[in-house]
Amino acid sequence: MIELLNVTKRFEQKTVLHHLSARFEPGTVNMIIGSSGSGKSVLMKILVGLFSPDGGKVVYGTSDFFDLDLEGKTEIRKQIGMLFQNSALFDSLNVEQNVLFPLQMFSKLTTRQQMERVNHCLERVGLAGTNKLHTSQLSGGMRKRVGIARAIALEPKYLFCDEPNSGLDPLTSIKIDELIREITLESGITTIVNSHDMNSVMEIGDHICFLYQGKMLWTGSKGHIMDTDCQELNDFVFATAFLKQIRKQSNGHTA
């Protein structure tokens, strides 16, 4: 479980996050949504400890992350897997070496066990047999999959995904979404996904937090997102002409 308690972040004079509080439960996919510039990425960086908040707490289990010493933080970080927007694969390593890297760095497995784990992770993301490919030979979707394989290599308790669908075609996006959801449920991971893709939200989101200008204006489940009174969320959800049309038809039908 991860809990945000009254988190505030400022850059110089500008407050980009205003007193955010939320709770993310294990075995659920938690979506942080909002338009560009709403503070999603800053919040994600605070959650994983890359930025420290100016106020408030980020609690992992029972520990306030920013109160921990370096060793404590490292221990929690070993339980974190992260999929980056651009995958952030290590350019100098091939697919196998990328997934192997966290295992070699931290696990106490034998070399053979490590390789078995690498092959299992690659198989799990549908990339069995791609071990020796260089990262420059991968498509956008494959890079994301390798990123996921690397993120789950150490069997994390927490999985963070920053814009997992950016730059992907709709079909590949759905596959990546399904993969994130399956992995979350299989291992009871606490997953937090940063996205502005409403397809993803409706596909895999169990718990949704809507950020608007650094404020958490709405939290709830996807079942309630369509009939919310929050105007800013409505504007965000029904931003496309296609969805506006659906809502119009739906309202007409109801009337």
Single out the residue of 65, 84, 212, 236 in contact with other proteins (rule: CB under 8 A). Answer: 84
Asked if 247 touches other proteins (CB under 8 A), the answer is no
Tell which one of 2, 22, 31, 80 touches other proteins (CB under 8 A).
Answer: 80
What is the per-residue binding string for other proteins in 148-177, x denoting contact by CB under 8 A?
A: ------------x-----------------
What whole-number distance in Å separates Cα of residue 119 and Cα of residue 104? Answer: 14
Instruction: Say how many C-beta atoms besides its own lie within 10 A of residue 178's C-beta.
Output: 12
The yes or no reply on residue 102 touching other proteins (CB under 8 A) is yes
Please give the structure tokens belonging to residue 37: 């510039």
By CB under 8 A, the residues from 106 to 135 that bind other proteins are 106
Which CB, 49 or 167, lies closer to other proteins? 49
Name the nearest CA neighbour of 93 among 129, 136, 122.
136
Q: Does 49 participate in binding other proteins (rule CB under 8 A)?
A: yes
Give min distance, CB of 100 to other proteins, in A: 10
Of 24, 20, 22, whose CA–CA distance to 8 is shortest? 20
| Nearest to other proteins of 86, 249 (CB atom) | 86
List Cβ neighbours of 91 (8 Å cut-off, separation of 6 or more).
Answer: 135, 136
Indicate whether 73 belongs to the interface with other proteins (CB under 8 A).
yes
Query: Is 50 an interacting residue with respect to other proteins (CB under 8 A)?
Result: yes
The per-residue DSSP string of 107-173 comes to: ----HHHHHHHHHHHHHHTT-TT-TT-BGGG--HHHHHHHHHHHHHTT--SEEEEESTTTT--HHHH
Give me the residues that bind other proteins (CB under 8 A), please.
48-50, 70, 73-78, 80, 82, 84-86, 88-91, 102, 104-106, 160
